[in-house]
């Protein structure tokens, strides 16, 4: 199987019939997806129909090295790198899918939310391709891409509860249809990935911080440090992670003052304590989000996760146990589909195209674009760009 290729395991298929345009929904579509909302330039080709699609190719060009000296993503550097790499990743994904643009039915592109320069680069690239080929242009909400990933990877049917947990986002979404999302709660300050990255820096561990902390935590004793579990005293499923990095800073400074520096064991113990604090909050708040969804009358049978932090095995393990307690099935897309990628954008675009819904050349890049327009905003703008 070529790299990035992922065979689908259809589970619960949505109803197959005719779309609003009269298109036969049994006829598979082939969609090119483009993603450039943060620090990954990505393109992918997905072929199929709702609930049963195959990733023909998925190319991700990461920018971690370009931002390494700056302690975070620098928007201007990101936008320039996207502009340089977009046509290369598009060409590469078509090559890997053994296709040319004449084999494509539509061009899906992330139109927000995200760092505006990067989103603009992707939207301009997609508009150029659509204008040159006459193919339909489909603007996609990046968060919808993440939220629909369990359907792409596992054929999961609606409704389900989604914990979207990444470097720029953290929210519980009740996903009841390809365009029906209710945000039940989310972080009121930092996203967990952001907290992982900042805490890794505090410990002198390399970026991205999530994988470094997960590695360091393996030999650690979490119980050595008592870190806070914010907002657990509240019944809702909102979360706060900014106080955790302050607590990490204090714990580190205490050790440095007492011993003149950190040993490898100190690093491991602090990493384990941090991971366990984040995990406890995500697990307990997931339990409450599921209870809230059920209390609203939703027949909830699945909790799914997506976003970079969803690849953390310790957190996955804790969520799995919690799901068993609540009689929920835990759906975990492969890590490659949890982090930013264009296959999820192509699939979200496929669902829109099937509904006969596209954009024209006035498609705008949006720094902010909440999926659930009815929930009040919880967040300001963070290190990884606008959040929703
Ligand atoms: O979804 P993503 O690729 O990009 C966006 O932020 O949209 O997520 C990246 C974030 C980074 O903050 C990274 O440190 C975190 O996900 N991450 C992890 C792990 N792998 C990536 N956090 C915890 N454990 C991991 N194994
Ligand atoms: Zn993302």
- Centre of ligand 2 to C-alpha 248, Å, is 25
Which structure tokens are listed for 123? 């939207």
pLDDT over 60 at 381, yes or no: no
Mean pLDDT of 199-216: 94
Site to substitute for ligand 1 among 40, 308, 317, 340, most atoms within 8 A of C-beta: 308
Are 282 and 253 in a shared domain? yes
pTM assigned to the model = 0.88
Per-residue confidence (pLDDT) for residue 377, from 0 to 100: 64
Residue 42 sits at φ, ψ, to 5 deg, of -140, 150
pLDDT band at 39 (very low <50, low <70, confident <90, very high): confident
Q: What are phi and psi of 241, to 5 degrees?
A: -125, -5
Q: For residues 346 and 331, state if they share a domain.
A: no
Number of domains in the chain: 2
Q: Is residue 39 part of a domain?
A: yes
**Protein residue closest via CA to atom 5 of ligand 1:** 167
Average pLDDT rounded to a whole number, residues 46-64: 94
Asked whether residue 130 falls in the same domain as residue 170, the answer is: no
Task: Decide if 3 is inside a domain.
Answer: no
pLDDT at 5: 37
pLDDT at 65: 81
Q: CA 317: distance to chain centroid?
A: 19
Q: What's residue 106's pLDDT?
A: 98
Residues 223 and 123 in one domain: no
**pLDDT class for 78, splitting at 50, 70, 90?**
confident
Q: What is the pLDDT of residue 69?
A: 76
**Three-class secondary structure of residue 202 per DSSP:** helix
CATH number at residue 235: 3.30.420.40
Question: Which residue minimizes the CA distance to atom 3 of ligand 1?
Answer: 339
Q: Which of 191, 210, 277 to mutate to test the pocket of ligand 1 (most atoms within 8 A of CB)?
A: 210
From CA 141, how far away is CA 354, in angstroms rounded? 16
Kindly state whether residue 127 falls inside one of the protein's structural domains.
Answer: yes
Tell me the average pLDDT across 117-138.
97
Average pLDDT of the segment spanning 337-349: 96
pLDDT at residue 345 greater than cutoff 80: yes
Q: What range defines the domain where residue 41 resides?
A: 19-150+339-386
Asked whether residue 380 carries a pLDDT value surpassing 90, the answer given is no
Going from the C-alpha of 189 to that of each of 53, 192, 243, 379, the distances in angstroms are 36, 10, 9, 6
Q: 277-313, pLDDT tens digit by residue?
A: 999 999 999 999 999 999 999 999 999 999 999 989 9
Q: Region 218-245: what's the mean pLDDT?
A: 95
CA of 340 from ligand 2 middle (Å) equals 5
Region of poorest pLDDT, from 119-123, 217-221, 382-386 = 382-386
Alpha carbon of residue 345 to chain centroid = 11
Mean of per-residue pLDDT scores for the chain: 89
Kindly tell me if the per-residue pLDDT of 2 is higher than 50.
no
């Amino acid at each position: 199987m070529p790299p990035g290729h992922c065979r689908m395991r259809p589970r619960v298929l949505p109803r197959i019939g005719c779309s609003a345009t009269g298109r036969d929904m049994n006829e598979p579509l082939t969609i090119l997806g483009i993603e450039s909302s943060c620090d990954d330039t990505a393109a992918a080709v997905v072929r199929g129909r709702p609930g049963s699609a195959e990733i023909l190719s998925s190319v991700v060009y990461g920018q971690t090295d370009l931002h390494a000296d700056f302690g975070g993503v620098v928007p201007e550097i990101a936008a320039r790198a996207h502009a340089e790499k977009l046509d290369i990743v598009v060409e590469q994904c078509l090559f890997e899918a053994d296709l040319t643009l004449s084999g494509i039915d539509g061009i899906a592109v992330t139109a927000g939310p995200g760092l505006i320069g990067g989103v603009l680069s992707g939207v301009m690239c997609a508009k150029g391709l659509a204008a040159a080929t006459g193919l339909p242009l489909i603007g996609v909400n990046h968060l919808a891409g993440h939220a629909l990933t369990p359907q792409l990877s596992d054929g999961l049917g609606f409704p389900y509860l989604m914990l979207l947990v990444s470097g720029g986002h953290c929210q519980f979404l009740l996903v009841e249809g390809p365009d029906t999302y209710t945000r039940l709660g989310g972080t009121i300050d930092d996203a967990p990935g952001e907290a992982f990255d900042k805490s890794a820096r505090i410990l002198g561990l390399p970026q991205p911080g999530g994988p470094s902390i997960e590695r360091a935590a393996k030999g650690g004793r979490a119980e050595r440090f008592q870190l806070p579990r914010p907002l657990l005293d509240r019944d809702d499923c909102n979360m706060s992670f900014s106080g955790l990095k302050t607590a990490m800073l204090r714990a580190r400074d205490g050790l440095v003052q007492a011993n003149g520096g950190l040993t490898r064991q100190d690093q491991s113990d602090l990493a384990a304590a941090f991971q366990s604090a984040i995990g406890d909050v995500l697990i307990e708040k997931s339990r409450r989000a599921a209870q809230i969804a059920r209390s609203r009358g939703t027949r909830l049978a699945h909790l799914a996760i997506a976003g970079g932090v969803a690849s953390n095995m310790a957190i996955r393990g804790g969520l799995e146990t919690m799901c068993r307690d609540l009689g929920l099935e835990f759906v975990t897309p492969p890590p490659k589909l949890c982090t930013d990628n264009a296959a999820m954008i192509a699939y979200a675009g496929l669902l829109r195209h099937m509904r006969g819904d596209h954009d024209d050349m006035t498609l705008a890049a949006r720094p902010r674009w909440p999926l659930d327009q009815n929930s009040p905003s919880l967040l300001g703008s963070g290190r990884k760009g606008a959040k929703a």
